[in-house]
Structures are given as structure tokens and as C-alpha cells.
Amino acid sequence: MSNRNASASAFGWDFQTNSAILLMLENIKDAKRVRVEGADEDIEIILQDHTKVYAQVKAVEKPDDTSHVIDKLTKALETLSDAAKKGDGSLFTYVTNSSNPFNNQRTLSYFTGRTHLFFDELPDVAQKRINEIIRNNGYTNLDVHKLDIRVIPFYGNDLKNRYKEIQACVNEFLGEVNVDVPGINTKIMEIWQRDLFQNATQSDTAISISKEKMIWPLIVLVVDKTAANDYKKDFNDDEIGEIERKYKMIINQNTMSYDIISRILSDQRRSKKAQKQFVADHWNDYLDIANTVDADDDTKESLVKIILYRILTQRQYIRDIKKGANL
């Protein structure tokens, strides 16, 4: 493969991965799992009702290059039609970064910036072109009324520019779940880019990423970055500093554990006690967290309390994220 072709392929994979982030976030309430480079399509999102969103993703390296956009559209409609034979598709999506996906000047005004249009919303000339492609090639399994077109501006070697619309989509989601912690937006985007790219490289197409697995790193980041200082007044500064340094790994493991967080939040909710009272009354219920720690009883008590406080002080963030993602 030439350097030119390798570069184009890498760009296409990058666009595919980032398109999966956008599609997953826009379907987050109904989504169950996502697979990049699936058995049938570039992106497959399994919904709670067991139907699927099938997406074909086609990229152009230069935004003004329209020489192959109709070929790309035709190939996308072909595979979407094949996927439609499965009978489980609720939506069939064509995603591109071309601002002129129909190579027609009359449609340009419809695709300015990030765009999402269902078939019935497309200009007549675009609807006609799609119907012609379907009719001429026998792609009759595809119901155009389940078809939508997405344009995502995505180009350039400057990654900040290339990813700006994906970052904007991430920011919108964080706004919806009331997360306003500086720096988290970029960090979580990078985590999702890494995880979804790795998913695409796994040859077993049955391996997918659950919504829980996708959202959990966000909760972890929030708990870690916003660990409130309110609880620290209940400890000696030197004592808490030493414990947090010495047992950082154990603190991180437990404040990042889905099981531990769920257990603590459920227990506190059932107790109906305020945070401080709950910690004072029930910290010893969680001594199993410190079972492996070689320390005196006072240190273990402080360690458990730190973990409890760190999780409980962020419970509203956690609840908002879980509610926003329908977890």
C-alpha cells in the first residue's frame, strides 16, 4: 500500500471511530451496545428494544473533493440494503464528512456544518438521486423512510480542527448531564476515541462496547477530578495527605469500581441519612474494602471514610450522568 493510500485509510478509520462517538451519544438513552466495524456495517448500535442502528461511514480527505461522492453514496446504500435484509434495523444512516454529498450545487445549503436530515427532509434532487440509485441497482430491501444522512465536518491535519464537531457533541452531552468540570471533555473524548478504535481492530465482530463500559470512564473522571475538599476538615491535614499518598491505588480502585459505587450509593439512599451521618454510622460496614491493607485500625477507618466521602460528595454528578445516559 502506498503512503498516500495508507494515509487515506488511516483518515477513514479515524472518521469512522469519531462518527461512532457522535452516533452513540445521540442515541445514548436508547442504546445498549456499539460495535465499530461490525459484521454487517461500519457502525452498529444495538438498542434496548434489540433493534439496530446500521451506519455506513464514508470520508473524503479534502472537503472540496466531490469526484467520488456518488460512488461512496452508492456503495453505502448497497451495504445498508444488505443489512436491511436482517429485518432488525430501525434506522439506516449514511455518514460522510463531505459538505456536498450529492455533488450538486443546489443541495449545498442543506449541508452547512454538522447536519442530520431524514430522507423526507432532503431536497427533492437528493431524494431523487437516492431513489435512482436504489432502483437502478436493485437495493430494494432498504426502506428510504428509515434512512437518514449525516454530515460531520472533519478534515485537516490539526486535530483540534479535525475533532471540533466531535468535541462539540461531547460538550453537548456533558451539558445535558450537568458535568461542567474543566478538562473532562477533552479527556473523555480521547478515552472514547481509543476504546472505539480498539473495538474496530478486534476481528471478532461479536465483541462490542456496552453503554455502561462507555459511560463508566466519565463517572470515574468526575469522581477523581472533582473529589471535594469538604470532607477533609474532618481529618488532620497531615494524616489525610499521608493516607491519600500511601494508599492512592486502593482509593482509586474503589472510587472507580462500579460495584463499590453502586453499593455505597444504594446503601446511603436506603438509609435516608445525610452524607456525614451515614459515614459516621456505617463506615465499618465497608471495612472489607481495606482487608488487604497492612495498617492499624485507625488508618483503615480513615481510608474507608475517605473512599466513602469521595464517592458520596459526587453522588449528584453520578446520578445525573446515569440518568442522562439511561443507565
| Percent of the chain residues past pLDDT 70, beyond the cut | 94
Q: Closest Cα to residue 327, out of 231, 282, 261? A: 261
Residue 1 has pLDDT above 50, yes or no: no
* pLDDT attached to residue 255: 82
Look up residue 267 and give its three cell numbers.
Answer: 446503601
pLDDT of residue 8: 72
Estimate the crossing angle of helix 315-324 against helix 211-225, to 10 degrees. Answer: 160
Rounded to a whole number, what is the largest CA-CA distance in the chain?
Answer: 78
Both ends of the chain: CA-CA distance in Å? 44
Q: What's the pLDDT band for 244 if we cut at 50, 70, 90?
A: confident
Write the pLDDT tens digit of every residue in 148-159: 999 999 999 999
In tens, the pLDDT along 64-114 reads: 899 999 999 999 999 999 999 999 999 999 999 999 999 999 999 999 999
Q: What is the pLDDT of residue 257?
A: 82
Cell numbers for 107: 443541495
pLDDT of 256 above 80: no
Cα 84 to its chain centre, rounded Å, is 25
Pairing outcome for strands 147-151 and 89-96: parallel
Residues 163, 159: Cα–Cα separation, whole Å: 6
CB contact set of 181 (below 8 Å; sequence gap of 6+): 221, 222, 225, 226
Domain ranges of the chain: 3-201, 227-324
CB neighbours of 173 closer than 8 A, spacing ≥ 6?
A: 25, 28, 324
pLDDT of residue 268: 94
CA 19, 47, 42, 137 torsion-angle sign: negative
pLDDT in tens, 211-232: 999 998 998 888 776 554 556 6
Check pLDDT > 60 for residue 4.
Answer: no
At residue 155, the pLDDT reads: 94
**pTM assigned to the model:** 0.84
pLDDT number for residue 100: 95
Q: In whole angstroms, what is the distance from residue 192 CA to residue 282 CA?
A: 36
Element containing residue 70 per DSSP (H, E): helix 69-84
Per-residue pLDDT for 275 more than 90?
no
Give tens-digit pLDDT for 173-202: 999 999 988 899 999 999 999 999 999 999
In the predicted model, what is the mean pLDDT of the chain?
Answer: 91
Alpha-carbon span 98 to 69, nearest angstrom: 8
Res 258: pLDDT: 80
